[in-house]
Amino acid sequence: MRIIFLFQMAITAALTVLLTLIQVACGQLEDVIIDRYFIPTHCSREVQVGDYVRYQYNGTFKDGRKFDSSLDKGFPFVGQVGVESKVIPGLDKGVQGMCVNERRKITIPPHLAYGVLGAGLVIPPDATLVFDVLLLDLWNKEDKVQIRILHKQQNCKRTVMPSDFAKINLNKSMDEGLLGMCVGERRSIIIPPFLAYDDKGYGTKVPPYATLIFDVLLVDVFNVKDDVKVEVQKIPQPCRRRAVVGDFIRYHYNGSFQDGTVFDSSYSRNSTYNTFIGLGYVIAGIDKALQGVCVGEWRRVTVPPHLAYGENGSGELIPGSAVLIFDLHIIDFHNPKDRVDIKVIYKPAECNLISSANDLIMYRYNCSLLDGTRLYSSDDYPEPPRVTLGQGKLIAGLDEGLQGMCVLERREITVPPHLAHGTNGASGVPSNAVLLFELELLQLQKGVPEGFLFIWLQDSPEPLFPAMDMNQDQEVPLEEFSAFIKLQVAEGRGRLHPGIDSDVILGDMFKKQDRNADGKITEDELNINVNEDNEVPKHEEL
């Protein structure tokens, strides 16, 4: 009987094993089932054994009942895959090969989960588990800062160096990612968690164990040791004069940031910027860069923030710590102490007369700004102008430049604004403009002192009345007076006021001598009267 009983027990055990094998074959899983129901378009890296992962998950049974969720806990799972793993083997296996942002449904059989024992009151024995996983992050302890250059300028004159200031200051790893960048360059910089904020995160913006990806556009780079950088792009030849401290300068400019964004321009206002050099009226970098310029010169000036608007910037226009680039075109400059600069282009060999105050002249001229901009010309009129010098008919500098000339002499004169149209300018002439005149003296009639109509060039006849009374009848009518004066002029003994009809002058002179207005001058009338008020002789041409 004992033998039969043992035989029956053996048969029962064999049947139990067979039924178990049949059950596995018919209903239970041998491996995890993975449903990759969302795969991102771009997947640069997949989870491998030894990697660290950060993911959100929902854990349910096959009937949909939830038993666990990272979302309910308020923080994702973080752990290493395959090495000292903190999760069940099936889940560890199910996340391998995942991409960041991929979603998977992982079905795990009991023997790769909690097996026949289950897990306390939460997981019953032999339970098949389903995990819905969203991979948030992936890294490895061997990772370094990754740099992907998205765009780089072909002409890169300067790159970020250690100790440079680049408007980004997050941590040392970011510094590493910025090294070698050019202004205008775009990079994607990937920093693994242990080189970023690790397990602490950063406030509410960066969770613990987060890989950080920075898409960076480098706008500015400078060093606190930087000085103003000047690139001379065009310089006129010859350069007769260079600007110094105390000069007053007019220039056009375009102001931009290092990325090319224009923030200001004098051209948009259709007016030059006018200022004194070296006296602190402009930012220090420009004050320095304007020294030594020539008229007509083009310069590109790079100004670091500490020589511009510093950390505070300037309103909404200039951000803090901005490097500024100015493209300058020098229109003109002068010094308040400047006088008229005269350059003789041509002077005839014979020069018997030279122009001076009160002379009547006829001349040709072209007037322009120092940058060559033409303002006006005598050629625009039917005939050249006539003017009496020294009478305030011309701007002071031009009047001065026309004196001392010979007939047919040509000059080039430079007139500073305080001897031209000054701060107000004139029609077609900008304020504070230095003017350049090309002059040619065409005709010259010597003049008489201001207020005179006639002067003697030699001693007058003595006595005068008998010489004037040509027919010796003791009276001189207008006709006889006019004939006498014209004879003196013709013989070079006297000179009439130029530019006025001689008959008009002679009529006026006659009236002054014909004191009783009877149409004739007598010897008594010709005598010089004395001013009764101050006993000073009245002015009389004769």
Which residues are catalytic, by number?
Answer: 57, 67-68, 88, 114, 131
Contact assessment for residue 331 and residue 361, using Cβ atoms and an 8 Å cutoff: no
Phi-psi region of 81 (alpha: psi -120 to 50; beta: other; left: phi over 0): beta
The encoded tokens of residue 325 equal 């680039």
Contact assessment for residue 363 and residue 384, using Cβ atoms and an 8 Å cutoff: yes
C-alpha span between 478 and 462 (Å, rounded): 21
Number of other residues whose CB lies within 10 A of the CB of residue 339: 13
Ordered DSSP codes for 327-385: EEEEEEEE-TT---EEEEEE--S-------TT-EEEEEEEEEETTS-EEEEGGGSSS--
Contact assessment for residue 307 and residue 382, using Cβ atoms and an 8 Å cutoff: no
Nearest-10 crossing angle of helices 502-513, 478-490: 120
Phi-psi region of 239 (alpha: psi -120 to 50; beta: other; left: phi over 0): beta
C-alpha span between 209 and 357 (Å, rounded): 91
CA 59 to chain centre: 61
C-alpha span between 397 and 341 (Å, rounded): 9
Ordered DSSP codes for 109-143: -GGGTTTTT-BTTTB-TT--EEEEEEEEEEE-TT-
- Cα-atom radius of gyration of the chain, to the nearest Å? 51
Evaluate the omega torsion of the peptide bond into residue 384 and state whether it is cis, within 30 degrees of 0.
no
Phi-psi region of 50 (alpha: psi -120 to 50; beta: other; left: phi over 0): left
Which residues, in sequence order, are CB contacts of 364 under 8 Å at separation 6+? 378, 379, 384, 439, 440, 442
Beta bridge pairs of residue 302? 229, 325
> Would you give the DSSP letter of residue 460?
P
Ordered DSSP codes for 236-264: -SS------TT-EEEEEEEEEETTS-EEE
Nearest to 434 by CA among 422, 416, 419: 416
> Would you give the DSSP letter of residue 33?
E
